Structure 1
Amino acid sequence: MTKLFDTFKRYMRIAAGATLLSSCTIATSEDSRFEGAGRTSSEARETAGIAAAIQNQIETGQIPGAVVMIARHGEIVDLVSRGYADLENQVPIQQDTIFRFYSMSKPITCAAVMTLYDDGLIGLDDPIKDYLPELSKMQVRTPDGLVPAKSDITIRNLMTHTSGFAYAVLPNPAQQDYIDANVFAIKNRLTESLEQHVKRLAQMPLVAEPGTKWNYGESMGVLGRLVEVVSGKTYGNYLQDRIFDPLNMIDTGFYVPASKSDRLAQLYHMSNEGVLSNANDDIQYGGSYLEKPQLEYGGAGLVGTPRDYMSFANMLLNKGSSNGRRILSQQAVEMMTTNQLDASFGDSPLEAAGRGPGTGFGFCGLVTVALPEGSDPGSVGEYGWSGWASTNFWMDPANDLIGLVFTQVIPDDIGSIMLSHNVREVIYSSDSDQRE
């Protein structure tokens, strides 16, 4: 699992890299409406700047291609696709290309849990053991060995990554326990159910007392199982009924059916030496997403299109409403998108994820609480998250703006982090130009 460890560790830090893959012919955007007549000079410069940012990363071999979608005031103002969804067969990447969301599944899981909250079926400070008894007697891995947890894990702890659960592929005090037990949902999505996964996870020690430390891990998978137990439906069916159908997310699910298989992007891995290789069916990354999985994993299992995710993000920006239909209460969205970590977590609570001062955490996503010198352009109050294979989104209420950056390269320090930085530079400088 060495390659898996290396890529996941890189995923959790901000970095950049480059390689060479410049011999490919570059596919161009299929949607010229955002590049031609009828646009102001500032708008045209913005779209051209985004296209140039994508093109640069393609030509230096860092990504095979990308889709960038920017919305302002509820309207898509930039839609740029460049490069390939499939390098080997030179299939152009397009706005209806289907991507693996990986951890961008997490905010969707949060929304599903908040529908239960809105319906009065759960309380956020309820102990999870009230719904999943297998999580009743947790232990904590300490330097002195295993000790019983002093506090119960709550739903709020799971929503904020303060439950104490970890990932097998990230350094932590319980990492060897996870490795020895082969507990990693992404790798095992084809071979075990969500119920089986959570019951095995319950045997793992926690890395900290619940509610005391932010630690990236398997928490959102537990939340998916919570949804199943409370609703009486499979997790996938519940998402379909309460999130996907109401938001017209027609291409989002836990796998790609045969009728849409030609639209699934190939998955690529970037080595430490800067070489891209096809990782499409690598079981370490979840295997084939053309096969229906046993495990409908709330932490990293979904696939879908940028258009679908834009619909979800726009609902959040609209405080829970979409096309006149309420998906979440305004209160639920405000809790999701407000920092939930108090001063006891320090100035850099997400330091383990490569995030310094100015970044807090809401429910299942980061929240910008300040913009220290050297930060990416943006606004206080932003909410968003990214995925392992270089998908990224953020919503900026102060500017009524949503940004999506989608490609399919593991790890995302080359893909979405670097490209998102460059896209931000373009769009926020454009906003500044328009105000002057």
Structure 2
Amino acid sequence: MTQKRRPLTWRNILTAAGAALLASCAAVEAKVSSVASAETRKVSDERSKAIEKAVAHLISENQIPGAFVMVAEHGQIVHAEAKGYADVENRVPVTEDTIFRFYSMTKPLTCATVMTLYDDGLIGLDDPIKDYLPELAHMQVKTQGGLRPATVDITIRNLMTHTSGFSYAVLPGVSQQDYIDSNVFAIRNRLSESLEDHVKRLAGMPLVADPGTVWNYGESMGVLGRLVEVVSGKPFRTYMKERVLKPLAMDDTDFYVPAEKSDRLAQLYHMSLDGALSNADDDIQYGGSYLEKPLLEYGGAGLVGTPGNYMSFAQMLLNGGRAGDHRILSEESVRLMTSNQLDDSFGDAPLASSGRGPGIGFGFCGLVIRDVPEGAPPAAVGEYGWGGWASTNFWIDPRNQIAGLVFTQVIPDDIGSIQLSNDVRAAIYSADE
């Protein structure tokens, strides 16, 4: 396999991160220590070394094949490290231009795409989705006693907050078997059905609860992608590229990897319950080949791209919707996305079903840290972010003006996430000694 890769330089990293970072970086060739004063940075040289140590440890323990970690503070890159392999079998190293599967980190990008419609006055967040997609007009709820009609309609806000009542075939719950029996799982079917057909089949699935009453992870983002198509009159991919990806210079982000970039796609690995890594590339359960243009442009888990591309998006959110001279979203839309949308009726730990305890709320397509209870992983109040199935993660921290991301490509057997993100965040947010 012939690899044509640029060397890892600060010029390349900052260029990859796009206009959102370039606008705030006057000397892109400078080393990290001169980009921001070590005395004023939260991500000090010591914390940066702790990040490097955490990544190296996970690689040495064969928990991950490799990783790319990037952190920006006050709009400037303060840590960027590529380590290990993107392809273990062929000894291909991770670099800044390695392309990763975003999986559920697609969701915030879908949310931003929908919010452009809101900014244009084309939709209301509390509009019933049936007004745009009539196939979703008569949903049913599954209970232990059987099926009954939903008491309220699904709204766009419900879809953005995972309170629609939709679920996933891979998640346990009252409706899981219905999803399995009907083979309604967008990731598995991305090469074989259209977005329109997927949503029409999803309309036949029972909800796990009445809309607006329970937080439940699921297929809502596929519905939002179809909403974009109906309202804009354009394919979801086309509209997303025009309004979000191109203005952010996210040139390597798409729903597949074209032939000329195929050598840059990282291999996907699966971790068994006993901790063994095996190659899972092209496995249909995980989406099949990402070198093939899919029929289903899925807003829940369909995108691939580089870390620098995603940093452009994260920095745009941290900048209140602006990226250089471009305004991608209004300040109001960013505020709505990144602030908690779940009221007290959802309880102290509304995301408990996803393994997240008290103090964690949810905005639009991403979690929001409301509080950091004693014993919880280190974090900052006000953070917004989300992760992906292959153990990728990103977050923005308005209080400290930090945007961070970790990229690897490992799917654990328990549908959890490996330790990489927690270890990196612990290095940044652990108490000062």
The normalised TM-score by structure 1 is 0.89
Whether the aligned pair in 2 keeps the contact of 1:407 and 1:415 (CA below 8 Å) is no
Partner of 2:387: 386
Residue type at the aligned position of 2:131:
D
The Cα shift of 1:45 comes to 2.4
- The equivalent of 2:371 in structure 1 is 370
Q: 1:129 to 1:36 in 2, by over 3 A?
A: closer
d(CA) in 2 for partners of 1:412 and 1:196? 29
Task: Give yes or no for contact 2:392–2:421 (8 Å, CA) kept in 1.
Answer: no
Task: For 2:320, give the aligned amino acid.
Answer: K
Shift of 1:412: 9.1
Q: 1:203 to 1:245 in 2, by over 3 A?
A: same
Aligned-pair RMSD on alpha carbons?
1.9
1:76 counterpart residue number: 77
Q: Give distance in 2, aligned partners of 1:54 and 1:204.
A: 41
- Matched residue of 2:72: which SS? strand
Single out whichever of 111-120 and 405-414 deviates more from structure 2: 405-414
User: What is the TM-score when the length of structure 2 is the normalising length?
Assistant: 0.90
Rounded Cα–Cα distance in structure 2 between residues aligned with 1:85 and 1:35: 25
Task: Tell me the CA shift for residue 413 of structure 1.
Answer: 7.9
Corresponding residue SS for 1:211:
coil
Residue 216 of structure 1 aligns with an amino acid whose one-letter code is Y
Partner of 1:3: none
| Matching of residues 282-321 of structure 1 within 5 Å | 282-321=283-322
CA distance in 2: counterparts of 1:256 and 1:353, whole angstroms: 30
Q: Quick one: which amino acid aligns to residue 348 of structure 1? A: A
Relative to structure 1, is the Cα distance of residues 340 and 36 closer, same or farther in structure 2, using a 3 angstrom cutoff?
Answer: closer
Tell me the equivalent position of 2:245: 244
Does residue 205 of the first structure (1) align with residue 206 of the second (2)?
Answer: yes
Distance 2:170 2:33 in 1: 49
Worse-superposed segment, 419-428 or 340-349: 419-428
SS at match of 1:177: helix
1:154-165 pair list within 5 angstroms: 154-165=155-166
Q: Which residue of 2 aligns with 1:227?
A: 228
Cα pair 2:132 2:227 within 8 Å, conserved: yes
Distance 2:376 2:386 in 1: 16
Q: Is the 8 A contact 2:412 2:418 kept in 1?
A: no
Q: Residue 79 of structure 1: SS of its match in structure 2?
A: strand
Aligned to 1:187: 188
Matched pairs, number: 404
What is the rounded CA distance, in whole Å, between the counterparts of 2:283 and 2:429 in structure 1? 38
Residues 161-218 of structure 1: CA deviation (Å, up to 9, x unaligned)? 0000010110111111111100000000000000000000001111100100000000
Kindly indicate whether the alpha-carbon contact (under 8 Å) linking 2:101 and 2:304 is maintained by their aligned counterparts in 1: yes
Q: Name the amino acid aligned to 1:51.
A: E
Contact preservation (8 Å) 1:254, 1:296: yes
Q: Percent sequence identity over matched residues? A: 68
| Structure 1 residue ranges without an equivalent (≥5) | 1-28
1:65 corresponding residue in structure 2: 66
Equivalent-residue separation in structure 1 for 2:419 and 2:374 (angstroms): 18
Say whether 1:109 aligns with 2:110.
yes
| Structure 1 residues 290 and 155: CA distance shift in structure 2, 3 A | same
1:31-56 Cα deviation digits (max 9, x unpaired):
48897875849843233221111110
Q: Which secondary structure does the structure 1 equivalent of 2:262 belong to?
A: helix
Equivalents in 2 of 1:37, 1:333: separation in Å?
A: 31
- Contact 2:273/2:414 (<8 A) preserved: no
Counterparts of 1:17-56 in structure 2, within 5 Å, are 30-31=8-9, 40=38, 43-56=44-57
Q: Which residue of 2 aligns with 1:20?
A: none
Q: For residue 197 of structure 2, what is the amino acid of its counterpart? A: Q
In structure 1, give the amino acid aligned to 2:385: G
Specify the alignment match of 2:138 in structure 1. 137
How far 1:265 sits from its partner (Å)? Answer: 0.3
Deviation, 1:341, is 0.4
* Structure 1 equivalent of residue 99 of structure 2: 98
Deviation, structure 1 residue 140: 0.6
Contact 1:387 1:412 in 2 (8 A): no
Change (3 A) 1:54 1:389: same
Of residues 198-207 and 42-51 in structure 1, the stretch that sits farther from structure 2 once superposed is 42-51
Correspondence list, 1:304-343, <5 A: 304-343=305-344
Residue identity in the other structure for 1:194? L
Q: Structure 2: how far apart are the matches of 1:216 and 1:413?
A: 16
- Per-residue CA deviations over 1:134-178 (Å, capped at 9, x if unaligned) read 001101101111101110000000000000001011011111111
Structure 2: gaps (5+ residues): 1-6, 11-28
2:222 partner letter: G
Contact map agreement 2:32 2:77 (CA 8 A) in 1: no
